Structure 1
Amino acid sequence: MDVSRRGFLKLSGLSIAALASGLGFDPTIAEAKGFVLKLEGSKKIPSICHFCSGGCGMLLYVKEGKLIHLEGDPDHPTNEGALCPKAASLLSVAYSPNRVTKPRRRAPGSDHWEEISWEDALNRVAQKTKEVREATWKANDEIINAKTGQRDLLSVNRAEGIAFLGSAEVDNEESYLISKFCRIIGTPYNEHQARI
């Protein structure tokens, strides 16, 4: 069959017009059916996004122990079903081959990371915390008395080389424990990531 360029365009236009006129094919129905089949047999779990302090609601669909879909929760008062790009990408983050699942250490001067055990990681963190606390401990602070103009020593007892940064995923009980921990080790620098 020999079709000219003009004939091809006419034929294409007629075909599109015939399909659009309603020959019984509606792609939106097919999409909806595919979406329902994808979620069939999954468990819907309400959750909250952890990227910032907004606390946006999400609905997670889990099938056979694996997250297969997530979407914004339309009944949540914060986001009313909408998700920002970070929250929408959580599905790809959960199963990314680049996701770090074990502790790693890069030795001083090294150009690569090496996996270490959890016990070794916790011991290293504890040892480093102790070293920094001892090196940056400040028992007294010198102040000038506003009334007399004299220099006085004020007992402060703080570790100025340690700070703690909280997370949007931390609940009230965990925040309380973190605050107590900061007081125990003597750091006054306890901050939250949403304020930074």
Structure 2
Amino acid sequence: MTERRRPRRSLTRKSAGALADWSVPRQLRGAPDKTKAAESAMSRGLRPRLEQADKVGTSICPYCAVGCAQLIYAKDGKPIHVEGDPRSPINQGTLCPKGAATFGLMLSPQRLDHCLHRAPGAGEWRRVTLDWAMDRIAHLAKRTRDEGYVARLPDGTRLNHTLSIGSLGGATLDNEENYLIKKLFSGGLGMVFLENQARV
């Protein structure tokens, strides 16, 4: 019988302890120090989440072309928190849900930090170097462009264009990057189909 009663006594003690630590009864009794009246054992042990940061850097949100400024808090060279920069006239310290997820994007174990290649007809991806991937992309882009390149019409009208390759830009590209893309792809490679994800 006594063994069965022990858990009840322990539960009663825990309940009494939780009630004694609960701030509402102290506030209702009219404790003289309102700050102390609202404290609990748990809140007294809480520390500011950014207290551990030994460095704060600035960045721009990578998700769209708005360009919201961010503060990156780091400890020992690793990010521990990301928030909006209140000094920015664009976002004034706020971030949309995508921007607020930047921290998860940076540290997600599922984020790829290397290049993968799957050969035509292959079922498996293989890891390749960035140099190899860039050379491969340049080679295929040049080959595809050359295969469909039209320098002149039969009547001699100069065209210098290709319909066999196109570009779909992302919303994270700013005006300057889009300007250079237009000059390179349209003027340099003769691409006709240029579009941007921000308009689609």
Is TM > 0.5 for Structure 1 vs Structure 2? yes
Q: Which residue of 1 aligns with 2:52?
A: 38
Determine the C-alpha separation between the residues in 2 that align with 1:113 and 1:28. Answer: 50
Supply the AA of the counterpart residue of 2:162.
Answer: A
Determine the C-alpha separation between the residues in 1 that align with 2:196 and 2:87. Answer: 27
Deviation, 1:105, is 0.6
Where 1:194 maps in the other structure, the secondary structure is coil
Q: Which residue of 2 aligns with 1:81?
A: 93
| Alpha carbons of structure 1 residues 73 and 29: separation in structure 2 relative to 1, 3 Å | farther
**Count of aligned pairs between the two proteins:** 180
Matches within 5 A, 1:24-35: 24=36, 25=39, 31=46, 33-35=47-49
Q: Which residue of 2 aligns with 1:181?
A: 184
Q: Which residue of 2 aligns with 1:195?
A: 199
Aligned match for 1:107, one of 116, 119, 129: 119
Deviation, 1:73, is 1.8
Deviation, 1:51, is 0.6
Determine the C-alpha separation between the residues in 2 that align with 1:50 and 1:29. Answer: 37
CA-to-aligned-CA distance 1:62-107 (integer Å, 9 cap, x gap): 2322111111122323322221221111111112222112211112
Q: Which runs of 5+ in 2 are unaligned?
A: none
| Alpha carbons of structure 1 residues 28 and 160: separation in structure 2 relative to 1, 3 Å | farther
Q: Which runs of 5+ in 1 are unaligned?
A: 143-151
Quick check: 1:57–1:73 contact (8 Å CA) kept in 2?
Answer: yes
**Residue 161 (structure 2) pairs with residue 158 (structure 1):** yes
Supply the AA of the counterpart residue of 2:158.
Answer: S
Matches within 5 A, 1:112-191: 112-140=124-152, 154-171=157-174, 173-182=176-185, 183-191=187-195
Instruction: Tell me whether 97-106 or 168-177 shows the greater mean CA deviation.
Output: 168-177
Q: Which residue of 2 aligns with 1:58?
A: 70
Aligned match for 2:81, one of 52, 69, 77: 69
Where 2:147 maps in the other structure, the secondary structure is helix
- Identical aligned residues as a percent: 33
What is the TM-score when the length of structure 2 is the normalising length?
0.71
Quick check: 2:149–2:160 contact (8 Å CA) kept in 1?
Answer: yes
What is the TM-score when the length of structure 1 is the normalising length?
0.73
Supply the AA of the counterpart residue of 1:193.
Answer: Q
